[in-house]
Amino acid sequence: MSGPQDSAAPEGRESGPAVRSGEDSPAAADETAANAQAGEPSQAEGTPGAAATPPGGEESGPDAGPGTPPARRRKRKQRSFWRELPILVAVALLLAVIIKTFALQAFWIPSGSMENTLEINDRVLVNKIVYHTRPIHRGDIVVFNGDGSWDPGTIPVAGNIFQQFGSGFASMFGFGHPGDILIKRVIGIPGDHVACCDAQGRVTVNGVPLTEGSYLYPGSAPSLARFNITVPPGRLWVMGDNRYYSDDSRDHMGDPGGGTIPESAVIGRAFIIIWPPSRWRILPIPATFEQSALNGSSAASASAGGADLLSAQAEPTAQTVPLVLGFAGAIPLTWLQRRVRTRVARRRRRGPRGHPRAPEPADPPRV
């Protein structure tokens, strides 16, 4: 056989019955019979649409051609789905771990020390990326690890990216030690002089009084305990919004750091309530922390009760959010890699310049 099959019929077809001369010699008849026995293609098989289809009518490659029966195409799609499903699940789990470890995580609020900003059983979404792009601001609601801050133990160290991924992977499946996770509002950042109270009973930062009525629990005073501290470098002064029932920096002034917590213990910023739906809302920085006077020079360092206090804990929720986000990201990625594999397979089935490859030549007929 010579030449591509889409432009020329296989050799020997001219000697077939449709193009033979009127003389039927015994030798020609024997040759025709031998060609038929050896599997020479017929006139119908010589059409361009059938040239790329192997014997049996089944097209090779991931995509069935127009000549493939519907039942066979359905079976191919089903087999393809079950082959792709493990890849989809693996990619989704990988993305879920990455999202949970480095980007977003949901936490459940089990106590009322941040009321009414955060109520019991609220679910908040915590942004873990934000503090890689900007410093911690006054007024941020932060989730942090209490181990080594107020609780006995060493201050947690995040470790390198691989250690963080390993820790996130372990916690994804219920292993590891999550620590004593707490949630509070940042009142003072490093270098701030935080004190209570002025003549009107208000908390002051760098001598500027805070107007806290927009987020404090209704009827709650800014503080019943008095304090006067300059926040050390690398640390934060944090308080709950329900000041009567919040175990915060005021109650740990005898601890190392004078009640402050290390910035390295901060996991991220709570920026939105995602559950229940009736409580959905953004958690902005209150306007009182936007006063330009707060950024003035802080005063010199100064010297350095009551109802049951709540520690404003924030418990990690089930891994629903990272899993949903993981699957949302895995679906387009799986679809994309499938498209790439399909196109590569199609190109392999085509000859140079986009022509279908010619079928392998048949063995010469036996005479």
Residue 92 confidence (pLDDT): 84
**pLDDT value at 22 more than 50:** no
Counting Cα atoms < 13 Å in the Cβ hemisphere of 27 gives 0
Higher model confidence: residue 170 or residue 36? 170
Tell me which residue range forms the domain holding 359: 1-51+333-367
292 and 344 in a single domain? The answer is no
Does residue 10 belong to any structural domain of this protein? yes
338 and 299 in a single domain? The answer is no
Of 111, 113, 171, 246, the active-site residue reads: 113
Cα(212)–Cα(202) distance, integer angstroms: 8
Is 184 one of the annotated active-site residues of the chain? yes
Cα-flanking dihedrals φ and ψ of residue 124, to 5°? -115, 150
Q: How do residues 107-121 score in pLDDT, each as one tens digit?
A: 999 999 999 999 999
344 and 232 in a single domain? The answer is no
CATH code of residue 210: 2.10.109.10
261 and 339 in a single domain? The answer is no
Residue 16 confidence (pLDDT): 38
Pair of tokens at residue 123 = 């679910």
Region 95-107: what's the mean pLDDT? 88
Lowest mean pLDDT among 67-71, 220-224, 336-340: 67-71
**Cα dist from 36 to 65, 76, 145, 366, whole Å:** 27, 32, 82, 11
291 and 342 in a single domain? The answer is no
**pLDDT value at 227 more than 60:** yes
Q: How do residues 283-301 score in pLDDT, each as one tens digit?
A: 999 999 999 999 864 433 3
Q: How do residues 237-277 score in pLDDT, each as one tens digit?
A: 999 999 999 999 999 998 888 999 999 999 999 999 999 99
Residue 2 confidence (pLDDT): 44
Pair of tokens at residue 271 = 């920026």
29 and 145 in a single domain? The answer is no
**Cα dist from 78 to 22, 65, 121, whole Å:** 54, 16, 43
Confidence of residue 10 (pLDDT cuts 50, 70, 90): very low
Does residue 236 belong to any structural domain of this protein? yes
Lowest mean pLDDT among 15-24, 126-135, 311-320: 15-24
Residue 39 confidence (pLDDT): 46
Cα(255)–Cα(231) distance, integer angstroms: 14
Residue 330 confidence (pLDDT): 62
Of 100, 111, 167, 184, the active-site residue reads: 184
Region 14-35: what's the mean pLDDT? 44
The DSSP bridge pattern shows strands 235-239 and 261-262 to be antiparallel
255 and 148 in a single domain? The answer is yes
Confidence of residue 8 (pLDDT cuts 50, 70, 90): very low
359 and 280 in a single domain? The answer is no
Helical segments of 306-353, H only:
320-349
Does residue 92 belong to any structural domain of this protein? no
Cα(285)–Cα(287) distance, integer angstroms: 6
154 and 225 in a single domain? The answer is yes
Q: How do residues 194-209 score in pLDDT, each as one tens digit?
A: 999 999 999 999 999 9
Does residue 141 belong to any structural domain of this protein? yes
Does residue 216 belong to any structural domain of this protein? yes
**pLDDT value at 102 more than 70:** yes
Is 167 one of the annotated active-site residues of the chain? no
Is the CB of residue 77 less than 8 Å from the CB of residue 206? no
Does residue 249 belong to any structural domain of this protein? yes
**Cα dist from 146 to 171, 276, 291, whole Å:** 17, 26, 29
Region 6-14: what's the mean pLDDT? 40
Cis check for the bond before 160: say yes or no (omega within 30 of 0). Answer: no
Give kind and range of the element (H or E) at residue 95.
helix 70-102
43 and 152 in a single domain? The answer is no
Region 8-28: what's the mean pLDDT? 41
294 and 239 in a single domain? The answer is yes
**Cα dist from 286 to 185, 241, 255, 268, 353, whole Å:** 11, 12, 29, 18, 66
Residue 325 confidence (pLDDT): 62
**pLDDT value at 133 more than 80:** yes
Confidence of residue 350 (pLDDT cuts 50, 70, 90): confident
Does residue 182 belong to any structural domain of this protein? yes
Q: Which of 12-16, 84-88, 186-190, 336-340 ranks highest by mean pLDDT?
A: 186-190
**pLDDT value at 3 more than 90:** no
Confidence of residue 4 (pLDDT cuts 50, 70, 90): very low
Percentage of the chain surpassing pLDDT 70?
57
Does residue 197 belong to any structural domain of this protein? yes
pTM confidence score: 0.63
First CA to last CA across the chain, in angstroms? 18
131 and 252 in a single domain? The answer is yes
Q: What is the tally of structural domains in the chain?
A: 2
- Identify how many contiguous H helices and E strands the chain contains and give both numbers: 6, 13
Cα(123)–Cα(364) distance, integer angstroms: 76
Region 328-335: what's the mean pLDDT? 68
Percentage of the chain surpassing pLDDT 90?
40
